[in-house]
Chain A
Amino acid sequence: MNEIAITSGRMNQGVDPVLHAWTWEIPLYLYLGGLVAGILFFSAFFYLRHRENVFPAAIKIAPLFTPFMLAIGLLALFLDLTHKLYFWRLYTTIRWESPMSWGAWTLMIIFPLSIIWSAFWVKDVFPRWDWKIPFVEKSIDFLARYKAYFAWALIAFSAILGMYTGILLSAFNARPFWNTSILGPLFLVSGLSTGAAFILLISRSEQERHRFSQIDTFLIGTEIFLIIHLFMGFLASTSVHIHAAEMFLGGPYTAVFWTLVVGLGLLVPMFIEIMELRGVKVPVVIPAVLVLFGGLMLRFIVVDAGQSSRWLYKFMEQLIF
């Protein structure tokens, strides 16, 4: 008797009946990527507007955290890989049509950029800092003459970093919940908002906190707008997309999303920040922490929910992990 072995990608428990491949590593990386994008964007932006003295935390102190955040994010990404030793293959090619290639190369560029950018400001934050190696000291001084060019590069690449995480997910057409072009801008705005919240957290200047409260309020408002339109888009789309949206409108993800992400992560901090701008005294750490928490929950829930949504057997019970 001849035996025929049939293998199919669907015979993988991590794929059928529901995609179960990504757990915590990917959402954590997406979150840190967005956060870093936000911090670097604001740092470069306000540097180009010559606000170094007015916004010291935003321009000088916050970027110092970014290399470490990126490192943790990249580590999480690495841990998620199945064939860990072959990660370098991503860098042997540039594929313009692949968001993953965009992401890999953007990270490859932003990581050294963030380190160099932080190096420019280290002496301002730690006056007694000594580079120890004269070559390093000289190169930093040399490159510091081109700070403006670095700033422009940072603006471009941080915008790409913030956006591509959403575009990466939206490229999965087999996952209806992710398959929407609003995800890119949503993640970008969320990243900027968490970056502004982080700056709020570490800022010591009243004026800086005021300004970033305003910026954050505006960004949260934009995020709420985008989320509403995310769902409006789903409900006006194919029935599979409607089914995906219904996970959040009465389905298993309803409570966690609308209370933790929208309620605690967006509406409550926005209300507190608006009240703060009108004179009510609140320790700024509270809205900032809430926004940072909300951004993290957004990534976790979007990644989890996307994996629950599917085209086939759309009337099967959606599962949560």
Chain B
Amino acid sequence: MSGYNKIINQSGTGAEKKTKGHWWMTVAPLYGFTILFVALPILYLIILSFLTRAQTWGVVNQFTLENYARIVKPVYLNTFKESFQLAILTTITTLLVGYPFGYFMARLPRKQKSFMMLLVVIPFWTSALMRMYGWIIIFRSNGILDKILMGLKITEKPLKLLYSYPAVLVGMIYSLLPFMILSVYSSTDKMDWSLVEAARDLGATRLKAFLTVTVKMTLPGILSGIVLVFIPSMGLFFIADILGGGKVMLVGNLIQNQLQSGRDWPFAAALSVVLMIFTSIMIWLYRKLSGVKDLEGLL
């Protein structure tokens, strides 16, 4: 806490305090909450990852590096690799599908924008589990889709569409699409369209104007969308369990298994720390690419 005060004092006596004033008050809640309810619990998580599992139940306070050593076993590295592949695939597809949607949404007449925003989010207010069961009823063998296709004589035998890697991918995309749509939308919405027009006036083709001006200006939205899609797709275990028929093992599933049937909390913690470091690299790239330096002087 004293460090925190020191920081405030420093900023108060800093050289360029022209625009500072009382700005510390706006970040104080974030600082306080983050330090108390995020940093401290995560510190505990890191400590836990160096402890030893008890023989039957619980944790023994005995330092070990064994948990991290176990992660490099091929079987667990493979799980990380597969999760990463799926997350990348999910992110790219979500971007390709979601960007146009968010972009078109921002070009809607004003009155329809907020309505559209709600239309996009409302499906996600119903339980994800129920939505997954909805998909299963449609796509399973002899399900609604099969009956339609076989009724139209397009297929003869029931398809086996579910419980596979592609089914998990589609489920991921479906579940994470709104993050991309809304990210793209919120950065496209306040875009200065006159710049696109200027580029067009200067002779740029529509495509070129889009690539050079629009994409560049919506880059922060694209990046936050990528982060918001990529990160959860590493850990969404229930989609793998339900649409993947329990056959796809992602890092999220692995951690869940270690915590439940494995009863190995320290190993689960170590897996989480590694996952955290891994996704942090993504966040770092995001921060690198979408710096907020040029915001000074807005107010």
A and B form one complex? no
Chain B residues with CB under 8 Å of chain A are: none
